[in-house]
Structures are given as C-alpha cells and as structure tokens.
C-alpha cells in the first residue's frame, strides 16, 4: 500500500515508524513531515519514507498531491485538518482516508458542542455552562464560587484554557478570552466548567463508526516544569500504563464514558471513525470528561505505538472500513516512557536552528526510539526547528526501568537551550505502581 501521513510532529513520526513496519507498506509520504521520518524504511519495499512540502492545513495542496500520487490510505495526525474537513474533501474525491469527518471532529473543534453533547447523552462531565455573553458567563462563574475553568470554544493549539481559583481570577479569564480575544475568534463562545481535582488520565479508543476499541491508560505531563509547575504546553512527556486504575477500573471508567458517547453518536447520526481521546479527571465522585480530542494524543502516541503489537495499517484500515469488531488490540506487557526534549523558552518564544548531537549514540541503544518533532536537516545535520524537538521513548518490563532508560538516552542528547522535565512517570512510581 501507498500511505500518506498528514502532520509533522512527534505523533506523526511515531505513526510513520509504526506504519513503516507493516509488510503492507510499500511507500510512505509525510506532509510536511519532519527530518526524523526520512530515517524510516517501508517493510514492504525497503524504500525510505519521503517528506513532501505541503502544510498539514493546505487542503488544496494535499488533495492535489493525493489525486496525482493515489495513496491507498491517508492518515491524518493533527486536529486542524480534521476540523477543516480534510476527510470529507478526500472522500468526495473517492480517496480513502483515516480520521473523523468534519461533523465528528467537532468533539474537539468545538468545546461547546462537546459540552452540550455530554449533557444530552449522559456522559459524566463537570458541571458546566456555554456562554456568548460575558455577563452571563461571570454570573455562572460566581455560582461556582469563582473556582472554575474558562475555555475558549474553538481550537487554540492546546492553549485557550484558563484556570481560576477566585471570582476575580474568573472575571479576568472571561475578559481575557471574550473581550480581549487572547485566543482570537475561538473566544466568541466559552465553556465554563467547575474546577475539578484528582488524577488526570488520557483514554484513547479506536472507532469504526460501530465499535470502540479501548487502549490502555497513559498519562501526559502538560505543564512545562517539574512538579507540574509553569505554563501548559502541548505535552512534555508521557508513560503507559498509568497505575491509577486497575484493569477492572479502566473497563468500568471506559464503559461509563464510551457507552453513553457511542449511544449519543448513534442517536445523532455521527459516524465517528478514528481515535476518540477523552481527557479524564478521576475525582472522588467518579471519572469526568474534561474534554474530547478527535485524534491521537501527542506524546501519548509515542508510548502507545511502542507498546502496540498489531499491524497499524490493518487497524487503521479496519477503522475506515467499519470492520474493527473482529480485531483484537494487542499490547506488550512492557511499560513505555516518552520524555520530550524542548527548545529553551518553549511554550513561549524560542530560537531555532541549533545543531543536535548524540542522536547516533542513542540510535545504537536497544528498546529506545527517538521520535522527532521539531527538526530539520541543514547542511547534513539535524537542527532544532520547533518548540518540542524530540520525544525520547524507551520501553522495558517495569516502569522504573523504562523511565531510567529514557533518561539515560536523553542525557546523551544535546542542543543549545535544551529543556526537559526530570519527573516524567514519577507520580506513578511514587504511587506504588501496579507494575512491580
């Protein structure tokens, strides 16, 4: 098969790496891709994956490329093209593409849509309201005692969410998003949720319009600095499995969330094919959905795909065809840890173009894979080209060993200004861990 992957981050490198291992894969293109992807070779042909300079949100460019080169499957990584309707456009041209269509992608592209859906279909969620009027928003925040989360409705690159611990902070957050438009037109409408406390986990399920196949647990680390301090980022590291739920609790949690979600989709005629990824808070009143994403998490994908034993081409193909029912997802018993190496200053302003050293030493290590995110090749060398630069991923029988291996590898890599968290998976190990 010829496969086109849309996107350029660590998630997409992990997808390319895993798709390349399938004997079905003859040819892989990445639009626009990153420097790491060109290191992958297709198992079916020995050919290297190729980057094509088309932006992930250039729907016309992507369509032109697909009509010329006829990929047998296109795999969409990021949320933006999904929200823009890339799946619908490709389908109109009879091109096979994996990911939710524009209507289904609203679970991520509109927080108001998701909030209303959860209320109507009984998906456990925080107490919340949807507002276009800042005065009404402030009144609702006051009802919650000022302890609330103010979320811009539309996509805001993982930002667009402000936490308030008092009425003054809530008012300020509402003004910031609705009046000063800190996140642009995404702030025309806001969702205000009660502020929940508990452990946060990521759930992923692969859907085919009929069934949803649950992944194991993973946990992301969204804050920039150790001890969950500093600003929110796209994600500074992940590990899987997360030991806060037993296998039974995971199934119960998933049932409480995915069953009403699936019934709701069926009732509303939403044909969801792709990954549904609810961000969940495990509270003393049970699990609650903070948000839905309609794609693979980044960097969750890096830990999931280093544990997945199935052929990913077959899984995604079945997700498109509606034939997932008979497939069983198989996961290695290993734990996997991904540590993101970021540019100094990220998630704020950062410089680019610094040479990266140590990649060859890490490539020689067993059970370690460096997924590139923000890299390009310049004069034959890998140089930094983004906020999140690399995702150093290691797997081992125990979480402690996977963590040690990921950090040993990260310590071999250097670039000017490199920053990373030292405590990825520490919460799980402190927890006493399932994975003894």
E strand or H helix at 312, and its extent? helix 312-321
Report the residue number, 208 or 291, with the smaller CB distance to ligand AMP: 291
Asked if residues 382 and 356 have their Cβ atoms less than 8 Å apart, the reply is yes
Instruction: Output the CA–CA distances (angstroms, integers) from residue 304 to 174, 215, 246, 275, 391, in the order listed.
Output: 36, 8, 18, 13, 13
The span of 116-124, 129-137, 297-305, 310-318 binding ligand GLY (CB under 6 A) equals: 297-305
Report the residue number, 73 or 186, with the smaller CB distance to ligand AMP: 186
Asked if residues 350 and 233 have their Cβ atoms less than 8 Å apart, the reply is no
Residue closest to 71 by CA, chosen among 119, 129, 137, 26 = 26
Tell the smallest beta-carbon distance from residue 234 to ligand AMP (Å). 11
Q: What are the tokens at 56?
A: 């992930």
Report the residue number, 211 or 256, with the smaller CB distance to ligand AMP: 256
Residues 188-247 touching ligand AMP, rule: CB under 6 A, are 193, 195-196, 200, 222
Residue with tokens 């969940």: 280
Tell the smallest beta-carbon distance from residue 124 to ligand AMP (Å). 12
Q: Is 295 in the site for ligand AMP (CB under 6 A)?
A: no
Asked if residues 413 and 370 have their Cβ atoms less than 8 Å apart, the reply is yes
Residues 128-167 touching ligand GLY, rule: CB under 6 A, are 158
Partner touching 161 among ligand GLY, ligand AMP, none, CB below 5 to 8 Å by kind = ligand AMP
Residue closest to 134 by CA, chosen among 82, 202, 181 = 181
Tell the smallest beta-carbon distance from residue 174 to ligand GLY (Å). 23
Tell the smallest beta-carbon distance from residue 311 to ligand AMP (Å). 31
The rounded distance, in Å, linking the Cα atoms of 312 and 318 is 10
Q: What are the tokens at 388?
A: 């999140």
Q: Is 300 in the site for ligand GLY (CB under 6 A)?
A: yes
Report the residue number, 194 or 298, with the smaller CB distance to ligand GLY: 298
Report the residue number, 74 or 301, with the smaller CB distance to ligand GLY: 301
> Which of 171, 194, 200, 298 touches ligand GLY (CB under 6 A)?
298
Cα angle 131, 133, 136; round to 5: 75
Asked if residues 320 and 98 have their Cβ atoms less than 8 Å apart, the reply is yes
Q: Is 153 in the site for ligand AMP (CB under 6 A)?
A: no
Size of the site for ligand AMP (CB under 6 A): 12
For 164-167, the CB contacts below 8 A with 24+ separation are 164/195, 165/195, 167/141, 167/142
Cα angle 44, 9, 155; round to 5: 130
The rounded distance, in Å, linking the Cα atoms of 254 and 282 is 12
Q: 329 preceded by cis ω (within 30°)?
A: no
Partner touching 195 among ligand AMP, ligand GLY, none, CB below 5 to 8 Å by kind = ligand AMP
Binding mask 340-379 for ligand GLY (x = CB under 6 A): ----------------------------------------
The span of 125-133, 294-302, 328-336, 418-426 binding ligand GLY (CB under 6 A) equals: 294-302
Q: Is 126 in the site for ligand AMP (CB under 6 A)?
A: yes
Binding mask 192-231 for ligand GLY (x = CB under 6 A): ----------------------------x-----------
Report the residue number, 171 or 220, with the smaller CB distance to ligand GLY: 220
Tell the smallest beta-carbon distance from residue 278 to ligand GLY (Å). 11
DSSP notation for 160-203: -EEEEESHHHHHHHHIIIIIS-TTGGGGGSEEEEEPP-SEEEE-
Report the residue number, 25 or 293, with the smaller CB distance to ligand GLY: 293
Report the residue number, 117 or 354, with the smaller CB distance to ligand AMP: 117
The rounded distance, in Å, linking the Cα atoms of 117 and 268 is 10
Instruction: Output the CA–CA distances (angstroms, integers) from residue 22 to 6, 35, 162, in the order listed.
Output: 18, 21, 42
Q: Is 3 in the site for ligand AMP (CB under 6 A)?
A: no
> Which of 54, 236, 290, 324 touches ligand AMP (CB under 6 A)?
290
Partner touching 193 among ligand GLY, ligand AMP, none, CB below 5 to 8 Å by kind = ligand AMP
The residue ranges that bind ligand AMP (CB under 6 A) are 126, 149, 151, 161, 193, 195-196, 200, 222, 279, 290-291
Binding interface with ligand GLY (CB under 6 A)? 158, 220, 235, 293, 297-298, 300
């Amino acid at each position: 098969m010829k496969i086109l992957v849309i996107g350029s981050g660590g998630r997409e490198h992990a997808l390319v790496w895993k798709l390349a291992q399938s004997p079905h894969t003859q040819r892989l293109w990445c639009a626009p891709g990153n420097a790491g992807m060109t290191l992958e070779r297709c198992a079916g042909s020995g050919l290297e994956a190729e980057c094509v300079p088309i932006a992930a949100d250039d729907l016309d460019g992507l369509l032109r490329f697909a009509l010329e080169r006829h990929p047998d499957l296109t795999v969409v990584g990021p949320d933006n093209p999904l929200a823009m309707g890339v799946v619908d456009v490709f389908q109109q041209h009879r091109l096979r593409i994996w990911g939710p269509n524009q209507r289904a992608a609203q679970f991520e592209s509109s927080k108001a849509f998701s909030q209303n859906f959860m209320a109507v279909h009984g998906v456990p969620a925080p107490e919340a309201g949807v507002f276009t009027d800042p005065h009404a928003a402030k009144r609702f925040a006051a009802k919650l005692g000022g302890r609330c989360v103010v979320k811009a409705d539309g996509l805001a690159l993982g930002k667009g969410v402000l936490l308030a611990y008092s009425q003054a902070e809530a008012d300020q957050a509402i003004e910031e998003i609705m009046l000063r438009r800190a996140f642009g037109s995404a702030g025309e409408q806001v969702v205000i949720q009660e502020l929940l406390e508990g452990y946060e986990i990521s759930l992923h399920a692969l859907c085919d319009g009929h069934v949803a196949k649950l992944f194991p647990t993973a946990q992301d680390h969204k804050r920039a600095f150790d001890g969950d301090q500093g600003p929110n980022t796209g994600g500074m590291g992940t590990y899987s499995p997360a030991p806060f739920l037993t296998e039974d609790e995971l199934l119960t949690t998933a049932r409480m969330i995915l069953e009403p979600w699936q019934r709701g989709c069926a009732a509303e005629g939403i044909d969801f094919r792709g990954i549904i990824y609810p961000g969940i808070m495990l509270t003393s009143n049970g699990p609650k959905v903070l948000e839905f994403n309609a794609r693979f998490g980044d960097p969750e994908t890096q830990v999931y795909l280093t544990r997945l034993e199935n052929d990913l081409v077959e899984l995604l193909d079945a997700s498109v065809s509606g034939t997932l029912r008979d497939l069983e997802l198989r996961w290695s018993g290993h734990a996997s840890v991904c540590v993101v190496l970021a540019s100094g200053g990220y998630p704020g302003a950062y410089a680019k173009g610094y040479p990266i050293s140590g990649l060859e030493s890490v490539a020689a290590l067993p059970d370690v894979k460096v997924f590139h995110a923000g890299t390009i090749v310049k004069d034959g060398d890998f140089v930094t080209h983004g906020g999140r630069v690399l995702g150093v991923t290691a797997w081992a029988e125990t979480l402690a060993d996977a963590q040690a291996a990921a950090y040993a590898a990260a310590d071999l890599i250097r670039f000017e200004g490199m920053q990373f968290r030292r405590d990825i998976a520490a919460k799980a190990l402190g927890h006493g861990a399932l994975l003894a």
